Chains A and B, each alone.
Chain A
Amino acid sequence: EIVLTQSPGTLSLSPGERATLSCRASQSVSNGYLAWYQQRPGQAPRLLVYGASSRATGIPDRFSGSGSGTDFTLTISRLEAEDFAVYYCQQYGSFPRTFGQGTKVEIK
C-alpha cells in the first residue's frame, strides 16, 4: 500500500498569504494519479485537484497542484477566508486508494 505523508500538519497563515502544502508518497504514484480534497469545518470533503495538477469543476484558479513521482504540492496563491480548512491528498493510481493524514490551514 502507498503511504502518503503530508506536511506540515498545521499551517498558520493570514488571509492574502500564500500556502504551500506538501504530500510525499512512499512509492511512485502511478500515472500521477494524485488528488487533493478540501474539508471545511462541518462540511463534506470536496475534490479540488486531480491528476496532480488539474482543477476540478468550479475550483478557483488560486488553487494549483504540481508534482510527479513521489512529491506533490498544493499551492493556494492568496488565502481567502473560506480557504481555512483541512486539506487531504489521495493517490488513486493503485489499490488500495490511500489518503494522507491531512494538513490544517488555520488563521494566524
Chain B
Amino acid sequence: ELQLVESGGGLVQPGGSLRLSCAASGFSFSTYWMTWVRLAPGKGLEGVANIKQDGSEKYYVDSVKGRFTISRDNAKNSLYLQMNSLRAEDTAMYYCARDHRGLFDPWGQGTLVTVSS
C-alpha cells in the first residue's frame, strides 16, 4: 500500500526552526520527485518545495526561499523540510506528496505547524 507519513510539526515561536519528516512506503521512493504542499487557515493549497529523485534539483516558492530547505534520504525512504526563520504566515498543515510529472498522488495525512508567540 502506498503510504506517506509526516511528522515533526508543532508550536514554535516566530524566528524559530522546525524539521519536518515524511516516511514513504509501498513504492520505489528513489524514482520519484517529491513535494511539500501546505494549507494555511482560510487559504488554498500552496506548493512549498519539490526535489528531484537524486536531490540534484530543488525548487521553492518565493515566500520560503532562503528560509526552507528540502532534502531526501533515499536509503531511508524519507523526505525532509528544514524550516528556519519561521513566520506567523508559515502557520499551516504541511503535506508531503509523491510528485509524478506535476501530479501529486498520494498525499500524507499532514503535520500541523503553528508559529506563534
Interface residue ranges, A against B (CB under 8 Å) = 33, 35, 37, 43-47, 50, 56, 88, 90, 92-93, 95-102
**Chain B interface residue number, banded:** 10 to 19
Interchain Cβ contacts within 8 Å, total number? 49
Q: Are A92 and B45 touching (Cβ within 8 A)? A: no
Q: Which of B43, B45, B59, B61 contacts A45 (CB 8 A)?
A: B45
By the criterion CB–CB under 8 Å, are B107 and A101 in contact? no
CB-based nearest B residue for A98: B47
> Interface on chain B toward A: helix, strand, loop, or mixed SS?
strand
Which residues of chain B from 2 to 47 have any CB-CB distance to chain A below 8 Å in the complex? 37, 43-47
Candidate in B43, B46, B102, B106 with the most chain A CB atoms within 10 angstroms: B102
Which residues of chain B have a CB within 8 Å of any CB of chain A?
A: 37, 43-47, 59, 61, 95, 101-110
CA distance A47 to B45 in the complex (A): 13
Given contacts A45-B95, A93-B102, contact A99 B47 (CB under 8 A): yes
